Amino acid sequence: MNAYSWFSKLNTLNFSKKSVLIIGGGYMTNEYLKALNELKINNITIISKTGKTIRDYCITNKIKLLTGGYKKHLAKLPRFDLVIIACPLVLTMNVLNDVLKYNHNNVLVEKPGSLFHSELSSMDGKTTSKIRIAYNRLTYPSLHKLKTLVKKEGGITSCRFTFTEWVHTIDFKKDTQIVYELFGIANSLHVISMAFNLIGIPKKMNTIQQGHLKWHKSGKIFVGSGISIQNIPFSYHADWDSSGRWSIEVMTKNNAYRLMPLEGLEVCPKGKTTWESIKLDTCFKDVKTGITEEIAVMFSNSKQLDSILPTLEEASKFNKIAEKIFGYDKIIKKLKHN
């Protein structure tokens, strides 16, 4: 099944009889609610600590909101067709453990699942439930359109990507200190995972970290290169103390393609210097890209679509890659000993 074609027809599929439980009441819960509305899913229950930011939306749309936290309510609820865990990152694995105790067998965990690869891998294989990490950029129509194009041209020959963070926009009151100390995993991994989803994870990689920020000791400039398990050479660059944006560029024997922004797709044909936009067939343009797509994937019975979102073990590998890129070894050891 062609994922890009399937994504372009989501508005023709019927998800109205599905039931969804969301644990969490922040920004991402709002985004999931918008997506569920577009998919015409009305049987929704939300568990939140206070429900402060989503209460009005729930009242207007007649959504069941349970406040007081997941431990208070989880045992009393029936099994849902899908459970979405969108709570603060430092709580995610604890919530997942409790969700699995009550035999929910289809669980979507907001990215990156955990700051520690060992937490992700230790959960793998302990349950028969389907658990996927919600890397919504891996369900971008732009990514899957790109995959179809490069396949026709014999595959990707090389890749480069950037993940400069706009540190001046970060809300340092939103999360706990550990999230900012490992911000490359908490945030930059979204684009890093997308690049390696295209070319395969590294089998050899050289990394450099330089400088530091007050809140991010391992570095502020990150450059490196390597070769993937698909034998595709790659390089990357990020300077958190300067300007820039997330982007991925891949080359084939015929063209260069870039995702910049990641939601869009452009091509620069061989022999030319100008970039041309490629039209994408997408549904639900008013929803955060990739959210409706990943929810639909969780309801799909297709083995091909099921492999789009990473398992716990695959997500653990992404974390390991980020640990090397950002030089987090010493920080993680210190955090685990405290």
pLDDT of residue 125: 72
Q: Give the number of residues written for the chain.
A: 338
pLDDT of residue 325: 98
**pTM for the full model?**
0.95
Tokens representing residue 9 in the block: 């027809």
First vs last Cα of the chain: how many Å apart? 48
CA 71 to chain centre: 26
Count each helix (H run) and each strand (E run) in the chain, helices first.
14, 14
Phi-psi label, residue 95: left if phi above 0, alpha if psi -120 to 50, beta otherwise: alpha
Domains and CATH numbers, the chain: 3-137 (3.40.50.720), 140-281+312-337 (3.30.360.10)
Positions of the chain with pLDDT lower than 50, given as ranges: none
- Amino acid type, 182: L
Distance in angstroms (rounded) separating the CA atoms of residues 150 and 250? 9
pLDDT of residue 337: 60
pLDDT of residue 152: 96
Distance in angstroms (rounded) separating the CA atoms of residues 309 and 117? 17
CA 280 to chain centre: 20
pLDDT of residue 260: 97
Tokens 């208070």, residue located: 72
pLDDT of residue 35: 96
Please name the helix (run of DSSP H) or strand (run of DSSP E) that holds residue 21, with its range, or none.
strand 19-23
12-50 pLDDT per residue, tens: 999 999 999 999 999 999 999 999 999 999 999 999 999
Return the DSSP state at 216. Answer: B
Strand order in the sheet with 233-239: 202-210, 221-228, 233-239, 158-162, 247-251, 255-259, 266-269, 276-277
Strand order in the sheet with 19-23: 64-67, 43-48, 19-23, 82-85, 106-110, 130-134
Tokens representing residue 222 in the block: 């990150």
CA distances from 132 to 93, 107, 307 (A): 13, 6, 9
